[in-house]
């Protein structure tokens, strides 16, 4: 999910001193443990496990002029038959005309490096904007985009089956058209489950869909403005409605309720070398 940043001119950005390592770290073929260090298999019913998930609540647009009100209601986030459903609905809430859920693992699942696997089926319909992504837990380098963002999967309903994987930093982000991103057409993204994966190491991050490499971003060794990804991050799962990107082609109210279904979330620890 894209976030508002400072409106920086490219020239000013290029003049910004970059703190941190003078050289990129030596490349390694990092490996990951085979047993998850954190997982939710959704093998229960009712509300999502409160020991693993919290919520962002509210309807303030979330920096993207989104139209939904995020709740912690079972109507918007529920588990049944082994699947989590995050459901956006056309209904009134606190002056907003839609509701949905934005689930977070902040302070319940915070990670520095690792392999992240999420098996999900995406909602269809113009105006839907589901995302599987990560934000910094502590924002040690400052507010967005200084402390970074990792988008494991984004999809907008008006452009069906086109999956986006991105990373945003102070040097590389969408407001100045420098973001690191890749796209892939995935047939049946809204009708079948697919596995979205991030491998995150000190040297690089790689994004995969169904074990096919789609995205790679290497640590250039130029400090936090390029690579703030040496601090802990947490996971977010949400379905936005409308917004600067998701609402570019309008909203089809007939598409609601619209749900992102998640079969599992698994996090594997990176092996030290």
Please report whether residue 185 resides in a domain.
yes
- Does the annotation mark 216 as catalytic? no
The answer to whether 61 and 50 are in contact (CB under 8 A) is no
Please report whether residue 150 resides in a domain.
yes
Please report whether residue 14 resides in a domain.
no
If one compares 26 and 76, the residue with the highest pLDDT of the two is: 76
Please report whether residue 4 resides in a domain.
no
Q: What is the CATH number of the domain that holds 194?
A: 2.60.120.200
- Does the annotation mark 66 as catalytic? no
Residue-level pLDDT at 40: 98
Residue-level pLDDT at 29: 80
If one compares 112 and 8, the residue with the highest pLDDT of the two is: 112
Query: 66, 68, 117, 154: which one is catalytic?
Result: 154
Domain span holding position 65: 32-268
Query: 41, 68, 149, 216: which one is catalytic?
Result: 149
Please report whether residue 19 resides in a domain.
no
Please report whether residue 87 resides in a domain.
yes
Please report whether residue 1 resides in a domain.
no
* Mean of pLDDT values over 216-236: 97
Residue-level pLDDT at 163: 98
**Number of structural domains, the chain?**
1
Please report whether residue 232 resides in a domain.
yes
pTM for this model (two decimals): 0.91
């Amino acid at each position: 999910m894209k976030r508002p940043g400072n409106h920086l001119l490219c020239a000013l950005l290029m003049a910004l001193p970059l703190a941190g390592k003078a050289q990129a770290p030596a490349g390694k073929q990092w490996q990951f443990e085979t047993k998850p260090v954190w997982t939710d298999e959704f093998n229960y019913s009712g509300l999502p496990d409160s020991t693993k998930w919290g919520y962002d609540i509210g309807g303030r647009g979330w920096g993207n002029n989104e139209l939904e009100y995020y709740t912690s209601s079972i109507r918007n986030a529920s588990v049944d038959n082994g699947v989590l459903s995050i459901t956006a609905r056309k209904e009134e809430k606190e002056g907003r005309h839609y509701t949905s859920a934005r689930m977070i693992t902040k302070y319940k699942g915070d990670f520095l490096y690792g392999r992240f696997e999420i098996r999900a089926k995406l909602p269809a319909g113009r105006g839907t904007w589901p995302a599987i992504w990560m934000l910094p837990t502590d924002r040690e380098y400052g507010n967005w985009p200084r402390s970074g963002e990792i988008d494991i999967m984004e999809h907008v309903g008006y452009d069906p089956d086109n999956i986006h994987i991105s990373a945003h930093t102070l040097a590389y982000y969408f407001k100045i058209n420098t973001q690191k991103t890749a796209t892939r057409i995935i047939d049946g993204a809204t009708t079948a489950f697919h596995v979205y994966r991030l491998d995150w190491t000190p040297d690089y991050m790689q994004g995969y869909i169904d074990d096919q490499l789609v995205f790679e971003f290497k640590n250039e060794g130029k400090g936090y403005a390029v690579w703030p990804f040496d601090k802990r991050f947490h996971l977010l799962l949400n379905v936005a409605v409308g917004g600067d990107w998701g609402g570019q082609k309008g909203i089809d109210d007939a598409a609601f309720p619209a749900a992102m279904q998640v079969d599992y979330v698994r996090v594997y620890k990176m092996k030290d070398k």
